[in-house]
Amino acid sequence: MATILSAQCTDARVNMVTPELFRKFPTPAAFAQASLPAIEEEIRSTGFFRNKARSLSGAAKKVVADFGGKVPDSMDQLLTLPGVARKTGNVVLGVAFHKAEGVVVDTHVLRLSQRLGLSQSGDPKRVEEDLMRIIPRDRWISFSHELIHHGRQICVARKPRCIECPLETLCHAADKTWSSH
């Protein structure tokens, strides 16, 4: 549910909303029975709240109806849930089930994969395929977390802090703000 809410929204904002949301709706069955306006009210500040409420409600109903009230642990099954595409599926599989079926490609992973020359594509699906070819499978889960952390702390979108970057000698990005080579 939190991963669905994180679309176009900061993790900090999602983390402000989820404690009360999960207090009110503590199980998939509780979400499935809740009215859309009741869910919308709780998640309004995360943006696109009407669409997200529909996804949360639809996903909960499907989890209850098709998967015995438990979030499924395979990509194929996760992708049948409303609001879930590969990124969300990879997050849930990696973080909740410790299963590496793919590589999470969010906005940071997309940007950094291009800057570091790991993929030429701007399409998340193609970038994921490129990363799956390059990164050893036992690093798929940690790699995304590491890249996301790097993208937040150092390789930020507009003015990357190249002078502080431990990857600087490996990086040939055109928009570097400092270069040793």
Q: What would the two tokens of residue 89 be?
A: 């599926």
Q: Report the nearest approach of ligand SF4 to the CB of residue 134 (Å).
A: 16
Residue placing its CB nearer to ligand SF4 in the complex, 45 or 169:
169
Q: State yes or no: residue 110 binds ligand SF4 (CB under 6 A).
A: no
Residue placing its CB nearer to ligand SF4 in the complex, 44 or 172:
172
Q: Is 167 in contact with 116 (CB distance < 8 Å)?
A: yes
Q: State yes or no: residue 168 binds ligand SF4 (CB under 6 A).
A: yes
CA separation for the pair 42, 39 (Å, rounded): 5
Q: Is 4 in contact with 31 (CB distance < 8 Å)?
A: no
Residue placing its CB nearer to ligand SF4 in the complex, 104 or 173:
173
Q: State yes or no: residue 147 binds ligand SF4 (CB under 6 A).
A: no
Q: State yes or no: residue 160 binds ligand SF4 (CB under 6 A).
A: yes
Q: State yes or no: residue 62 binds ligand SF4 (CB under 6 A).
A: no
Exactly one of 54, 61, 99, 176 binds ligand SF4 (CB under 6 A); that residue is: 176
What one-character-per-residue DSSP string does 50-96 give? Answer: HHHHHHHHHHHHHHHHHSTTS---SHHHHTTSTT--HHHHHHIIIII
